[in-house]
Structure formats: structure tokens, C-alpha cells
Amino acid sequence: MARALVNIPPKAKRGEVITIRTLMSHQMETGFRYSTTGAPIPRDIITTFIATYNGEEIFRAELFPAIAANPFITFTTVATESGTIELTWRGDNGFAASEQATITVE
């Protein structure tokens, strides 16, 4: 279901600061809207984004309804060693998705 776009460099030099771009498809329903019948549309957003590098947390974000649909988050990290970068999104109504990418550090 969930569709993610991730841009992590496959290779980097040791100590290099790399940019990680992420986008998760999600409508981010704000909870501030009403349907045609006047009933409030319940909030349905991604609330948490976590990035780990070989299991160690390197970045975390708490998201609010003011984040645009299809949350886009870009951050940086230092390429320390070869391994796996894992990205996890969690949200309302049990939303959970993750993406992995391997990076080779020379």
C-alpha cells in the first residue's frame, strides 16, 4: 500500500556528510475538516519518522497535521561505515511502513 520514495547515496567516503531524501505517500488528513454531511473527518496522519544507521537512531521527527500530504523529509548524516540505513514511518490507525537501503563506505 504505502509507497515511499527514498534517495540515499549507494556509496560514500568515510566521514562524508550525505543527504537523505524521503517521501511517503500519505494524504495526511488534518482532522480539521468536515464532510458534506457536516461530520468531522477524523485525523489520519503520519506522526513519527525514524531513521537508523546499522540499528542506531540517527534522526527522528514528530509530524503534525501542518505537514503537507505525502510527507517529504530531507536530513543529513555522516557516512561512518558500510551497512544499512532503515527508515520507518508510523502514524494514526496503525500506519506503519519502512524502507531499507544499503550504503558502501570506503
Partner 1 sequence: MMKHAISRRGVIAGLGAVTLGAPFVSAQAAPRVVVIGGGFGGATAAREMKALLPGADVVLVTNERTFTACPFSNLVIVGERELTAQEFGYRSIEKAGVRVAYSAAKSVDGSARVLTLEDGTTLPFDRLIASPGIDINWEGLPGYGMAAAEKMPHAWKAGTQTTLLRRQLEAMDDGGLVVMAVPANPYRCPPGPYERASLIAHYLKTRKPKSKLLVLDAKDMFSKQRLFLSAWAALFPDHLEWVGLSKGGKVLSVEPESLTFVTEFGRHTAAVANVIPPQRAAAIAAAAGIADATGWCPIDPATFESRLVPGIHVLGDASIAGAMPKSAFSANAQAKVCAAAVATLLTGGTPPEPRLINTCYSLVTPDYGISVAGVYHPAGGVIAEIKGSGGVSRADAPPDVRAAEALYAKGWFTTVTREVFG
Partner 2 sequence: MPSTCKPSNLTSRRDALRLMGAATAGYALTIVRVTPLAATPADMRTAIEKITGGAKVSAGRVHLEIPPLVENGNTVPCAVTVDSPMTAADHVRAIHIVTEKNPQPNVISCRLGPRAGRATVSTRMRLSDTQTVVAIAEMSNGSFWSGSVNIIITLGACLEDLI
Cβ atoms of 13 and 79 within 8 Å: the answer is yes
Contact present, 79 and 105 (Cβ < 8 Å): yes
Contacting partner 1 within 30-89 (CB under 8 A)? 69-70, 72
Return all residues near 18 (Cβ < 8 A) that are at least 6 apart: 8, 9, 12, 76, 77, 78, 79, 103
What's the min distance (Å) between Cβ of 96 and partner 2?
19
Which of 33, 84, 98, 100 touches partner 2 (CB under 8 A)?
33
Which of 35/93 has CB closer to partner 2? 35
- Minimum CB separation from partner 1 for residue 40, in Å? 24
Task: Determine phi and psi for 36, rounding to 5 degrees.
Answer: -60, -30
Binding residues for partner 2, per CB under 8 A? 17-18, 27-30, 32-36, 38, 40-41, 53, 58-78, 80
